Structure 1
Amino acid sequence: AEFVALSRQTPIVRYLELPLGDPDLAVKPPIRVLGLIANPAGVPTLDIEREQRKLTQALQPLGDKVELVWLPGQTVQDLQAALQGGPWHVFHFVGHAAADGGSGEGVLLLADEQGNPDPLTATQLGRLLADQRTLRLVVLNACQGAKGNEQSLFSSLAASLVRRGLPAVLAMQYDISDQAAVEFTGSFYGALAANLPIDAASSEGRKAIASLDTAEWGTPLLIMRAPDGVIWDVREPRALPRAAIGGAVAAALVIIGLLAFIALQVRPAPVQPMTGAFNIAVADFGEIDPDSGRVKSTRAATQASQLLFNGLQQQLQDSQQIVPLLSDKIRIRHDSTTPLIKGSTAAEREKNVAELARTLNAQIVIYGNVVAGENGDDLQIQFYVSPQESEKEFNALLGSQALGGKVRLPTSFSGAGALTNISADKPLALRSRIIFWLTVALTQDLLGEPDQALATLQQAEQDLTDWEESDGKELLYFLQGREYLFLEQYDDARTAFARAAAINPAYARAEVALGSVNAVVSNKQEADAERVADGSALRQAIDAQQQGISAAEAGNDAFTAALAKAALAQSMDVLCISQLNLGQIEQAANACQDALNIANEAVAYFSDTQENRIYAQALLGQGLAHFGLNYVSDASGDREQALADLTAAESAFQACIDQGPLAEFDKVLQNSVIGKGCQEGLSQVQDRREQLQEN
């Protein structure tokens, strides 16, 4: 009988004939064990260090095949939090059991926040473990000194857990000596790491105890629902030859060249030179009703808009001395065709200002609103940059932006009266000069003259000596950075974008742009090992893009947040593929999964917009994430999942390509995003599928 019980050919177990479902058996070593020692008040005190040392000593000979992590706390909340830090394969509990006062069911005694016993039933533990798809085994170890009825309760708990879905539970049904426990644990976990079925592993553990000439080999009790004893398949990750991932690298290097332009949409040359006037419309300013939020017209607010218009006109008249040959290309309008921008919300007002821009064919519309403050009334001036119909190209300045801080209006200001106190004229005059200089630079930019645009912005920095940082000066450095990037002066671009972000941490577009230029630098200067290192340009790109998302979401700027996510997804894609090249499979898996999650959010947002190019770029990031994950799945031995990843990548790349006919005029979309990105990605998917099917 002893021979039968100790042989792995005839293991003694309690088998519950219950459906096991369709488990994911693949486990990438090490086997991860989450250990918990519960020592609440009111029960025999445990020697925690001794119990931990005993299990650690037993697992030490297994080296990196098994990883033991001790839970620092002993509450249910501690356990729940620790489970989220998985994957875990085994939960190993050391402590006391008790009988529930009502049902008589066995419970584990954890501790509450005050250290008092907190019973945890098998049902409750089963719920905690239900979402842990990788967790296949629970070990219940009665501590030395446990009473006989406690040990029987461990046995009943084990059966209850198996009935509630656990594939296997091992319980110590009697008190066991330290030496026997160490011998059993080492042999048992060692056999599991060697991929033996769990019933055979328990027999190996019993044999180790029997070698001590003791009858304690009968103490371990295994209850399982897996008919063949297989609860996992431990697989060493296959080392992918560098040539096998060459396709992924080739695709990634193509894509990262585009990555810098996802936020700024740099064009190599103007799609069509601007031949008409650069139109600026100054709409009537209004006052926001504090109760309804609606904008109403007042005499003084209208006068403020007239003051701003007058300043712009004066600047235009003097411009021949400042920027020759441009005065005939700029037109400024403020008349009956530029009415008040109405709307009870910022979104409504932006919709209305966009409609006015289309009606007037205006590149910029300036508008503003008076807002009642605690210490008086303030005027917030905004400008709206319209898409250029000739290019249909996204520009980081599109939409509404505040131009500096609020202008404090004089105490004599009254909605029914006139703006009689000239004290408001100075800040309004400053803003008119700022807008003029920015207009000149944008005109030069649209004419395809980034060097001239940069020179204008640098001249503005020198001439506008009264332009304080609090008056929206981050915009100046943002535009400087943009032109530096067009001119491929990357260090200067980084400095300018960083300065813009430092002036106004809430200016999300500056962070996104900083991430973009860092991505360009990474592409041009960094190899794989440099990219994955802390402080690399790629890591800086990721950090800046994450900051951009946070700033945009805090400012309720959903568009910029989604744009930053599309850029961040591609940065994470490149990180994943660099890690694959270096054989860092686990890190690559995390990076690609993060990239996929982020790309999915960007795809969901842009799928409901008319931004075909940005939607295509979000799909590009999504496809690359799936493409990287296929190598991760293959390295883990899951060929079926690797093929599924390729199918998902193919779908994303094809959806990207399908955007082409919807925006045939967009040469950047056609040539760069689709031609060099998604079509190349689709080709790589097809080659990779053939490679997997051949092997």
Structure 2
Amino acid sequence: MQTGTAQTMDDFATLEVRILPLEDEGYPVELELNQARQLGRGMLDPAQLPDLRGFPSDVAGTTLYNWLTGDLRIRSAVDVARGAAARMRIRLRIDADAPALHALPWETLRLPQPDGDVVELAASAATPFSRYLTTADAPTEYLTPPLRMLVAIAAPDGLDGLGFAAIDADAEWTQLEQALDGKEVELVRLPQPCTLPALEEAVRAGVHIVHIIAHGLFDPDQGASLLLADADNQPLFVADRDIAAMFDRLAHDTAPLRVVFLAACETATRSPADAFRGLAPQLVRAGIPAVVAMQELVPVETARTFSQVFYQRLLDHGVVDLAANEARATLMTAALPGAAIPVLFMRLADGRLFAPEVSRMGRGAMRWLAPLLGVIALAVLAIAGTLLYPAVDAYLNPSQMQGGFKVAVADFGLLHDGAMEQSSLASDLSKTMYDTLTREYAAATDGNGGGGSGLDSVVLWHDSLPRSQKNWDLGFIDGATADARMANAAALATRANADMVIYGYLTDAESPQGLVLEFYFRSPTISGDPDAADGGHRLGRPIASNVPVTDKANATIALHAISPELEERANGLFWLTQAMSFEFANRPEQALKILQEAEPQLASWQENDGKEVFYLFLARAALFDRRFDEAIRAGNEAVRINPDYANAYALLGMTYMDKAQLHFASGRELSPAEAACTDAADFANASPTLEDAIADAQRAVDNLEQAVALAPTSAWPAVEPHTLMNLGLAERVLALAQIFDGRADAAATTLAQGEAHLQDALAAFDAASNPQYYAWTQMGLGLNYRVQAYLAELDAWNANSANDAAAAATATAKETTLLEAAKDAYQACIDQRDATVAYPVFQQKVLQCSCEPYRASAQEALDALATPAVD
């Protein structure tokens, strides 16, 4: 875990250190990285438990670390974690049945470095530190600034008579107010007297943070208590159980509450017999996501400085455990005593309260961007929501395939002298492909207990099937060019209701002469959603024949020469189709798992034999499962194998675009309409910061531009208009990021480029023959115009600020024109309703969840121009 590296705010790995209840050999310790990777398990020797009372923090921290890592298995696991990431969130999780360990000063832990230096784990920005107790689930929704903080100062009369120092409530309030001046926080002061009922009423009104300044006590037998006031402002000791019960009662009424800060002595102290004895642990059990408290007597200046720096940093970046570490570091730099006394208990997975980049825009900008962000959030859904399953027009005569994932293995042909013709050798090779797939599926199904795994939902068709199962022949796929063959394969897929058509042809026109394998994939997201895998694919170079493919006399020799490598590629197609069977069952996580398991098993598949296609589909599965890092890895592997692979560049661009645009919706609560159309879990892997979103959006544009450049010479040139559409959508996301970064001029240029690309794509999509992609592109234009309208509104606002009425009127007129254009584009999308009646899921995701609310939002913006909001 290195320090001093300039990185983004949220690029922390997570190391969870779990200490389990005492066993005969000692306390078991487990280390887990990123909630997935078990690093190791060892034992803590209770006989060596150090007595750290009276020791300075540096000695205590080193002694405690040495005891924690005394087992070489634990120390080795720590070394593995140290090398895994430069920045590591440390989460200490001591089991409730090991209460004796909770009283140790874990906030003093010091990690020795190879160069002889040490890292103060609870005071370094590279190692945000918190304690964790297993309780109810923590909230996952981010808050939107400004935050609302309740400040409760218990300053009853007569404290000196009880041996306590008087608390100057006005001075405490003023110092906190001054420290947070200019921050996006609303301070609410609880009037005196500070009684428990008054505190309960104020919390019920709805606050994000509760800051309590009071005297506190801890008794091992009675637990903790706060010295509040009664109705007459006389001192009143209130037990921790009563305070915790109050917060527990409000748990369902105070959804925004995230942090309770107890600026009172001994509020974090716990009984050695009960991990939940003590006020802070009681609040954790009551469901407060983050609690800051003091584990012993704390000097007033230490408590005041810690709280002020904690809030300043928290309101800057929104990360609770990082703010606590930064506040401790300030205490250490200032040489204030008791830096390890404040303790943070936290159950927030990433420590984050809000996405801080939103606050950079200012409240005036957010008034306009709030509805715009709603549009952006919904735009994500049509790309990456539930997979779409288009209905298929019924055929009266031909039988059609029925099943979860339907694969038609067409006959193979012979492409000779520019024409496709029948060939017995090609037909035999087609049968070899079908038999290999059938055999692989039979073995896989048997290995899973005879079914129920999803594999038995795969249906395979071939012309060797009896007429009782299929009353017509698939035949070979005709066409002298890739485009012609793909078009014929698409027609066959529609006629057979197939999701994939595998086809191929023998040729003597390529080197080496032999068998070319291709397949057509009719994407389940074809109902208007871009999919880089949709369409035709070629599986590498021809499989070489050792005799001329037109030599009928030696066809058996050719069959034996081609079949082994054909079976190898058929095995690759088996893994692809197996994964797709789960994808079509709406289980993208299982599809991804299958392809990840297949990767090492396909080591013998040569890279120039079409292996880039495997990586394309692996990247696609990862994208659908929101595993952006894996999608990027696999996509990069595909372009490494084939630097001219337009589909892979397109998929990389879509991945980066999706990751970037999710950033702008991840820091706020979804409206009911949005929540009905998406899953909040989709936002988990979004670009974490504005800087990351800008970089990812630019990567999206770069990759999509490369895909557009390569499309005309790709295996499926028809990918070009689809990629142009995605490029236009990505440029809109980049422009939005530039706006948030304060670069309106750059955003305007980007939007103009995006509009041009969308118009080019629209020209290629005919509403009559391709209503889905036509509707999608119109929606993209509407989104582009909407962001342009925001820039015009910003120009009008600036002109009004400069008292330039003429410029303001011009900008407002431009804004109106753009909003009308956005409305028209959304309406053109909505107008495809009748043409897409056979596609009910398309109508839900693209029309009902997208174009219809977008049009309504544009109309609301037009209506608002008549009575502009006043900041």
> TM-score, structure 2 length as denominator?
0.47
- Pair 1:255-2:391 in alignment: no
Q: Deviations over 1:147-169 (max 9, x none)?
A: xxxxxxxxxxxxxxxxxxxxxxx
Cross-structure match for 1:280: 407
Residue 420 of structure 1: SS of its match in structure 2? helix
Letter in 2 for 1:304: L
Cross-structure match for 2:386: 267
For the 8 Å contact 1:508–1:548, the answer to whether it is kept is yes
**Given the alignment, which residue of 673, 680, 683 partners 2:846?**
673
Cross-structure match for 1:503: 641
Residue 576 of structure 1: SS of its match in structure 2? helix
* 1:689–1:269 CA distance, 2 compared to 1 (3 A): closer
- Pair 1:317-2:436 in alignment: no
The separation in 2 between residues aligned to 1:402 and 1:301, in whole angstroms, is 17
* 1:447–1:268 CA distance, 2 compared to 1 (3 A): closer
The separation in 2 between residues aligned to 1:370 and 1:288, in whole angstroms, is 6
Residue 537 of structure 2: SS of its match in structure 1? strand
Q: Deviations over 1:531-572 (max 9, x none)?
A: 478961121122222222222233274542222222222222
* 1:258–1:477 CA distance, 2 compared to 1 (3 A): farther
* 1:344–1:648 CA distance, 2 compared to 1 (3 A): same
Q: Specify every segment of 5 or more residues in structure 2 that has no aligned partner in the other structure, as ranges.
A: 1-360, 392-400, 465-471, 668-686, 797-806
For the 8 Å contact 1:532–1:579, the answer to whether it is kept is no
Residue identity over aligned pairs, in percent, reads 26
The alpha-carbon deviation at position 298 of structure 1 amounts to 2.5
* 1:531–1:619 CA distance, 2 compared to 1 (3 A): farther
Letter in 1 for 2:495: T
Cross-structure match for 1:175: none
The alpha-carbon deviation at position 518 of structure 1 amounts to 1.6
The separation in 2 between residues aligned to 1:389 and 1:600, in whole angstroms, is 22
The separation in 2 between residues aligned to 1:681 and 1:645, in whole angstroms, is 14
For the 8 Å contact 1:505–1:551, the answer to whether it is kept is no
* 1:397–1:296 CA distance, 2 compared to 1 (3 A): same
Cross-structure match for 2:832: 659
The separation in 1 between residues aligned to 2:845 and 2:480, in whole angstroms, is 40
The separation in 2 between residues aligned to 1:384 and 1:268, in whole angstroms, is 18
The alpha-carbon deviation at position 295 of structure 1 amounts to 0.6
> TM-score, structure 1 length as denominator?
0.58
Cross-structure match for 1:430: 568
For the 8 Å contact 1:413–1:420, the answer to whether it is kept is no
The alpha-carbon deviation at position 401 of structure 1 amounts to 1.0
The alpha-carbon deviation at position 604 of structure 1 amounts to 1.8
Structure 1 or 2: more helix by fraction: 1
- Pair 1:383-2:502 in alignment: no
Pairs within 5 Å for 1:25-44? none
Q: Deviations over 1:1-48 (max 9, x none)?
A: xxxxxxxxxxxxxxxxxxxxxxxxxxxxxxxxxxxxxxxxxxxxxxxx
Residue 644 of structure 2: SS of its match in structure 1? coil
The separation in 2 between residues aligned to 1:479 and 1:626, in whole angstroms, is 33
Residue 384 of structure 1: SS of its match in structure 2? strand
The separation in 2 between residues aligned to 1:388 and 1:484, in whole angstroms, is 16
For the 8 Å contact 2:388–2:842, the answer to whether it is kept is no
The alpha-carbon deviation at position 343 of structure 1 amounts to 2.8
Cross-structure match for 1:515: 653
* 1:519–1:667 CA distance, 2 compared to 1 (3 A): farther
* 1:566–1:259 CA distance, 2 compared to 1 (3 A): farther
Q: Deviations over 1:125-177 (max 9, x none)?
A: xxxxxxxxxxxxxxxxxxxxxxxxxxxxxxxxxxxxxxxxxxxxxxxxxxxxx
Letter in 2 for 1:406: P
Cross-structure match for 2:777: 618
Answer 1 or 2: higher relative contact order, Cα 8 Å, separation at least 6.
1
**Given the alignment, which residue of 817, 829, 836 partners 1:644?**
817
For the 8 Å contact 2:512–2:543, the answer to whether it is kept is no
The alpha-carbon deviation at position 382 of structure 1 amounts to 0.6
The separation in 2 between residues aligned to 1:558 and 1:477, in whole angstroms, is 20
The alpha-carbon deviation at position 469 of structure 1 amounts to 1.7
Cross-structure match for 1:542: 701
The separation in 2 between residues aligned to 1:631 and 1:457, in whole angstroms, is 43
Residue 536 of structure 1: SS of its match in structure 2? helix
For the 8 Å contact 1:529–1:578, the answer to whether it is kept is no
Cross-structure match for 2:787: 628
- Pair 1:330-2:459 in alignment: yes
Cross-structure match for 2:87: none
Letter in 2 for 1:305: S
Range that drifts further, 419-428 or 672-681: 672-681
The separation in 2 between residues aligned to 1:375 and 1:344, in whole angstroms, is 17
Q: Deviations over 1:69-113 (max 9, x none)?
A: xxxxxxxxxxxxxxxxxxxxxxxxxxxxxxxxxxxxxxxxxxxxx
Larger Rg: 1
For the 8 Å contact 2:526–2:534, the answer to whether it is kept is no
Range that drifts further, 523-532 or 502-511: 523-532
- Pair 1:346-2:473 in alignment: no
Letter in 1 for 2:704: Q
* 1:508–1:250 CA distance, 2 compared to 1 (3 A): farther
* 1:241–1:437 CA distance, 2 compared to 1 (3 A): closer
Pairs within 5 Å for 1:19-418? 243=364, 246-248=367-369, 250-252=371-373, 254-255=375-376, 258-259=379-380, 262=383, 266-267=385-386, 276=403, 278-290=405-417, 293-323=418-448, 324-325=450-451, 326-327=455-456, 329-335=458-464, 337-373=473-509, 376-386=512-522, 395-411=531-547, 413-417=549-553, 418=555
Pairs within 5 Å for 1:442-453? 442-453=580-591
The alpha-carbon deviation at position 253 of structure 1 amounts to 5.0
Residue 508 of structure 2: SS of its match in structure 1? strand
